[in-house]
Amino acid sequence: MTDIVRLGIIGTGSISIRGLLPHLTMEDVQDRVNVTAVCDPVVDRAEAAANRFGVPNFYASAEELLDSGTVDAVSIATPIGLHFEQGMQCVDAGLHIHFNKSMTTTVDEADQVIAAAAAKGVKVVSCPGEMLRPSHQRVKELIDEGALGQLTWAVTGAAFGRYHENERVRGGDDPLTNVNPAWYFRKPGGGPLYDMTVYGLHAMTGILGPAKGVTAFSGVRVKEREFYGEMLPTDMDDNTLMVLDFGDSLFAFVYGVAAGGLPNMGRPLIFGTEGVINGGMLNGEPFDYPGRELEEEFDLSASLPHVVGDHRGLEESHVYEDVMQLVDWIRDDTPTTSTPEHARHVIEIFDGAYRSAQTGTAQALRTTF
C-alpha cells in the first residue's frame, strides 16, 4: 500500500472549479489523496482556486508544477488540444496521469502516450469511465444473455447546444467565474465529439466491442457564437454524423451536433430482433442493476463505486470517480476498466470520422481494447 497520493491539477478552468477540486478536497478522501498543487496560465485563477480549496501550491505553468516535487500524479484538466503535449511532459516526469476527456485528438498521439507511459512505468487513466457504471455493465450482460435476440443496430450521440456558455463559472467578474469557453469551438480539440459524444461512444464500444470502420459527414454549422457580447468564431467542426461498422452487418449511428439531440445522452439505444434497450429500459420496462435507486434519487453517477455520501450532491462526480480509479491503482495496484487503450479506440473513431468526411471514403480502424 502506497501512502497518500499527492495530486496536482493542471488547469483551473470549469471542470476543476465545478468538479475536481470540490470532490478531491472533501474530508472523506484525505486519507487517500491530497491535492497539493494547481497551475493555470491565468495565474490569478490558479491562486484563487488554491485559496478557495486549501491547496498549498499554485503555479503559472505545467512545467513549474511538474518540476516542483510536490506531486506524485496529475489530473490534466486543460483544453483538449493541450492534453497530448502535457501528457507527454507528465510521462517524462514519471508522474501518473488522469486525463480528463479526451486523452488526445489523434490516434497517433494516443499511441505515443500509451507507449511512453508503458516504457516509463507510468499509470494512465482516461475519462470517461463509462463501463464503471452498473447500468452499462448490466446492458452488456443482458445482450450476452440474448435479451435482444440478434443485434441489428444502435445509436448514441450528443449535442452542444449552449451547455458550456451557460455553466455557472462563466460571465462573472472574478477569476473563478469569468472562465471564457472559446476553446470549445476552436481547433485543435474543440467540437462536440471529443467533449460530449465521447461519453456515449465509450459506453457503446464498451458494450458492443471495438468498431471496425467509420464513415462520416462533418462540418461547421454554427459559424460563430455570442458570449456576453463577444463573438466567438467556430473553426472546429460542430456537426458530425457517422456510421460505425462493427462487423457482420452490425451498424451504429453516432452524432455530435451543434444543437438538437436524442434523449438519454451517453446511454446507447440498442436494437435487436427481440426488442430494444433504451437507457434503463428493456422493451419499455425498467431492468434492475445495483444502484438504480440511487441514480433515480440523485443522478446517473450516484451508483459509481466512489461516489458516496456528499459526493452525490456535487457536479462532475463521474470525473471524480475516474480520478479515484487512478488513486486506487497507485495505492494498491487495483486495475481499472478506464483504460487508455479504450480511450485510444474512441479517439481513433473520431480521427477516422474527420478523415472520412474530408476524403469521402470509409476509414478502417486498427485499434482495439
DSSP 147-205: TTSSEEEEEEEEE-TTTTTTSTTSS-SSTTT----GGGGSTTT-SHIIIIIHHHHHHHH
Return the bridge partners of 253, or none.
Answer: 155, 243
Phi then psi for 137, rounded to 5 degrees? Answer: -60, -40
CB neighbour burial string for 292-311, b if at least 16 within 10 angstroms, e if fewer: bebbeebebbbbbebbeeeb
Asked if the structure places residue 178 within a domain, the reply is yes
Return the bridge partners of 251, or none.
Answer: 153, 245
Asked if the structure places residue 261 within a domain, the reply is yes
Compute how many other C-beta atoms are within 10 angstroms of the C-beta atom of residue 170.
16
- Separation of alpha carbons 314 and 98, rounded Å: 20
Asked if the structure places residue 64 within a domain, the reply is no
Q: Kindly state the cell numbers that stand for 346.
A: 474512441
| pLDDT, tens digit, 9 for 90 and up, residues 192-242 | 999 999 999 999 999 999 999 999 999 999 999 999 899 999 999 999 999
Asked if the structure places residue 241 within a domain, the reply is yes
Max CA pair span of the chain:
58
Asked if the structure places residue 235 within a domain, the reply is yes
Nearest CA among 368, 356, 129, 182 for reference residue 254: 356
The tally of domains found in the chain comes to 1
Instruction: Tell me which residue has cell 499527492.
Output: 6
Q: CA dist 23 to 95, 241, 305, 306, 336, Å? A: 21, 35, 14, 11, 20
User: DSSP secondary structure string, 231-296?
Assistant: EEE--S--EEEEEEE-STT-EEEEEEESS---SSTTS-EEEETTEEEETTEETTEE---TTHHHHH
For residue 263, what pLDDT is reported? 80
For residue 2, what pLDDT is reported? 65
Angle at 97 between CA 326 and CA 177, to 5 degrees: 95
Asked if the structure places residue 105 within a domain, the reply is no
- Separation of alpha carbons 363 and 104, rounded Å: 19
Residues 6+ apart with CB under 8 A from 330: 2, 5, 72, 73, 96, 123
| pLDDT, tens digit, 9 for 90 and up, residues 65-108 | 999 999 999 999 999 999 999 999 999 999 999 999 999 999 99
**What global pTM score does this model have?**
0.97
C-alpha 127: how far from chain center: 4
Q: Are 159 and 258 in contact (CB under 8 A)?
A: yes
For residue 264, what pLDDT is reported? 74
Taking 50 as the pLDDT cut, the residues of the chain under it are none
Q: Are 74 and 97 in contact (CB under 8 A)?
A: yes
CATH number at residue 357: 3.30.360.10
- Separation of alpha carbons 160 and 133, rounded Å: 23
Domain hosting 348: range is 133-294+339-364
The one-letter amino acid at 60:
A
Nearest CA among 134, 156, 205 for reference residue 142: 134
Residues 6+ apart with CB under 8 A from 79: 11, 13, 183, 189, 190
Asked if the structure places residue 48 within a domain, the reply is no
For residue 246, what pLDDT is reported? 98
Q: Kindly state the cell numbers that stand for 325.
A: 480509479
Q: Kindly state the cell numbers that stand for 64.
A: 513549474
For residue 117, what pLDDT is reported? 98
Asked if the structure places residue 43 within a domain, the reply is no
